[in-house]
Structure 1
């Protein structure tokens, strides 16, 4: 079993309840990555639904308290089961506290697998051998962000100036992305990929943990095997918060997922 599948595994624990274990390897700055938590919820929702609705289509999550490594419960409430889609509410709970509250629509992306059309310009990245690997991060950073060992990111040098103390100020990050074990991405893992890169505020000269308030992900297609191309961008900082828009493109050149999140600015 690939590491990703082990870390997101859920088991039935009563009517509409699933047990999970949030893994310390997905920690960043003392908390558990929000996208990883959302993927765990996604696995529970998939397990609660019939086989004809295996894929997340639209998922919105509100982050109420920081997740911690250890046992968790996902409570799933199917609000509507239709012919092609199901709408579900789900909470990820630890020690009596709701970590994230989720409303999601699931369906079957296989119904129109080849119908992916967009006018959005694709993420253009240099060849991987010319990009900057997250494996080059200093040991002290890897210690406080062990999730960096869960995947490989190869940053476009044009958006990696923040790593050398020279952020561009444009508010954009772009990278090649793949999970460890050469495990190909699927629709559930895209929920994590949308929150995997460093906060886009790094490119604004504002490093540090940026707590997510709300994250919405739209999944458009099952990704083709191989590397993903991921871009994060922000256009607005106001009231101590910023938005972060993400696009995820697969190896076949398709826009397979988009997301927007609202997050607090890092405190430095």
Structure 2
């Protein structure tokens, strides 16, 4: 039995448009939906993987022995070390659980940074348009690590956590077949009929796999909207989501925290911080979203 994460990241080539463009196809099933529509972080994860796949496909390969071009070799080596480190996505309309074509073009090639445009298309219409920046991930000890909202959070979920599996949340969030997700009960007061600060913490890991840089992208949009803690319930449509992947995560549970500084009358920002089992920051995001309708 294959992992749902592996399945959704399985891409097929549809066509080439020359040396700098390619179209890939993914199938996103109902597992990756919130309500009837595709979860924004899941689609951004697919976009990130599509960018990596396209960069490999569109990078000239070194020639055979005796006919190797030095420039091609260096370009191929540089590209092979790159991962998506920044994904900036504009959500033009809510995608459906179905096939999605990823129309990808290279906007800049470089040995340090490469930038690609990735448009997710359904039924001839662009639903999400993204710019993806590729570069080498960080590794080793950071020069500085400041205090953050996950300080003191245990590396694994406690028995008091709220698991997605078997909970009423699973009626709306259908990712349970793909992930183990546990919310911190202390930062999710709505389950007690209470309100609180716009802060949600939790733990997550993919079912049957170790987390990787693509999964970290999904995690950067995994929290229920933090405005739920302010008794603002309903669909909070994403306007724009930018995710930064800092490094490859260590095996084990990832911890996340979602926060908001300003909840306006019409929009709010939601920031995700993701650390791995060692407590090292692996990803961050900022999302601009609309206040649920009717609030």
TM range (shorter): over 0.9
C-alpha separation in 2, matches of 1:101 and 1:179: 26
Please give the residue correspondences for 1:7-26 in structure 2 after superposition, counting only pairs within 5 Å. 7-15=8-16, 16-26=22-32
TM-score (norm 1): 0.92
Question: Structure 1: how far apart are the matches of 2:181 and 2:3?
Answer: 18
Name stretches of at least 5 consecutive residues in structure 2 with no aligned partner: 17-21, 57-78
Instruction: Write the distance in 2 (CA, Å) between the matches of 1:265 and 1:58.
Output: 25
Q: Find out whether 1:259 has 2:289 as its counterpart.
A: no
- Residues 245 and 233 (structure 1), Cα distance of their counterparts in 2 relative to 1, 3 Å cut: same
Which residue of 220, 224, 228 corresponds with 1:198?
224
The total of aligned residue pairs comes to 262
Question: Displacement, 1:203?
Answer: 1.1
Q: Comparing 1-10 with 55-64, which one deviates more in the overlay?
A: 1-10
Q: Distance in 1 between matches of 2:290 and 2:187?
A: 21
Match of 2:89 in 1: 61
Instruction: Indicate the residue corresponding to 1:119 in structure 2.
Output: 146
Residue 160 (structure 2) pairs with residue 130 (structure 1): yes
Q: Counterparts of 1:200 and 1:146 in 2: how far apart (Å)?
A: 18
2:182 alignment partner, SS class: strand
CA RMSD of aligned residues (A): 1.6
Following the alignment from structure 2 to structure 1, what is the Cα–Cα distance between the partners of residues 192 and 293? 20
Q: Does 1:33 align with 2:63?
A: no
Aligned to 1:93: 121
Counterpart CA distance in 2 for 1:150 and 1:5 is: 9
TM-score normalised by length of structure 2:
0.84
Are 2:118 and 2:131, in contact at CA under 8 Å, matched by a contact in 1? Answer: yes
> Deviations for 1:62-86, whole angstroms, at most 9, x for unmatched residues?
0001100111100111111111221
Larger Rg: 2
The one-character-per-residue Cα deviations of 1:160-196 (angstroms, maximum 9, x if unpaired) are 211222121x100001111222x12111111111111
Distance 1:43 1:257 in 2: 15
